[in-house]
Amino acid sequence: MKQDGKGRAATAGEGGSRALRAYHAIRTMILSRKLGAGEIVSEDRIAADLEVSRTPVREALLRLQSDGLLAKEMNQPFRVRLVSNREYFQTMRLRELLEGEAIAVATGKISAEALDDVERDMLALKENPAVPAEVHWAADEKLHDLIADASGNDVMAGMIRSLRITTRIFELSGLPSRFRPDTEEHLTIISALRSGDPEAARASIRAHIRSLTNDVLAVMANL
């Protein structure tokens, strides 16, 4: 029978719960910049901090690797994934194409209640932009995932999520946050979805992605 880090018997359910807790803890550390791009993720340290064995931590790390947040070379430890400038801009171009298609297909398929829900999130952020970065990221993810899922194309939705992880990892690697423009652009996207016009919706999300790309280019030009 498996035992936890303190020698107690652990059920399969408990093990899964510990792996999930480790997964969320490490993911939060990455997305809150407590673990930087290229930084080694210590299994022993995380296991000690969470008071669990290394087994659930290893399961969490493998899942995060599958998500695209971590990378691992042969006989090397897990590291927070590094995304090059080239990969970032190529990914943003793909996002523009895929998310533009997803929102055009999704227009008219998202309920007014769902749009009201994400709009409330954005208005709350507009009123109080000083909330933690994770709150902004969660609202961002909620809207983009809603659109991807409403497209009805599971393959495209999965690709969009993967691409968004790549660009988010890059943006976490030292770029300044741009939450206010994001919030305003997200409200424009929601308004376009309410209009029922697929091309207006497509234009709104492409403008949002191009705005972010141009801001990153401006930051890099001043480095």
Q: Which CATH number belongs to the domain containing residue 106 in this structure?
A: 1.20.120.530
Q: pLDDT tens digits for 113-147? A: 999 999 999 999 999 988 888 888 899 999 999 99
**Is 7 inside a domain boundary?**
no
Same domain assignment for residues 150 and 58:
no
Q: pLDDT tens digits for 178-198? A: 778 899 999 999 999 999 999
**Is 1 inside a domain boundary?**
no
Residue with tokens 């897990």: 78
**Is 2 inside a domain boundary?**
no
Cα–Cα dist 98/157, whole Å: 9
Cα–Cα dist 51/18, whole Å: 10
Structure tokens at 182: 């994001």
Same domain assignment for residues 24 and 68:
yes
Cα–Cα dist 179/167, whole Å: 15
Cα–Cα dist 194/197, whole Å: 8
State the angle between helix axes of 179-195 and 112-127 in degrees (0 to 180), rounded to the nearest 10.
160
Same domain assignment for residues 197 and 119:
yes
Q: pLDDT tens digits for 25-42? A: 998 888 878 888 889 999
Residue with tokens 């995932």: 145
Contacts with 24 (C-beta within 8 Å, 6 or more apart), sequence order: none
pLDDT at 13: 58
Q: Are 193 and 185 in contact (CB under 8 A)?
A: no
Q: Element (H or E) spanning 71, and its range?
A: strand 70-71
Q: For residue 156, how far is the Cα from the chain centroid?
A: 16
Same domain assignment for residues 143 and 203:
yes
Same domain assignment for residues 16 and 75:
yes
Number of structural domains in the chain: 2
DSSP type of residue 9: B
Same domain assignment for residues 24 and 52:
yes
pLDDT at 34: 86
Strand partners, 71: 79
Same domain assignment for residues 17 and 98:
no
Rounded average pLDDT over 59-63: 95
Cα–Cα dist 95/78, whole Å: 27
Mean pLDDT over each residue of the chain, to the nearest integer: 89
| pTM recorded for the entire structure | 0.81
Structural domain that includes position 36 = 12-80
Residue 14's pLDDT band, with cuts at 50, 70 and 90, is low
Same domain assignment for residues 128 and 213:
yes
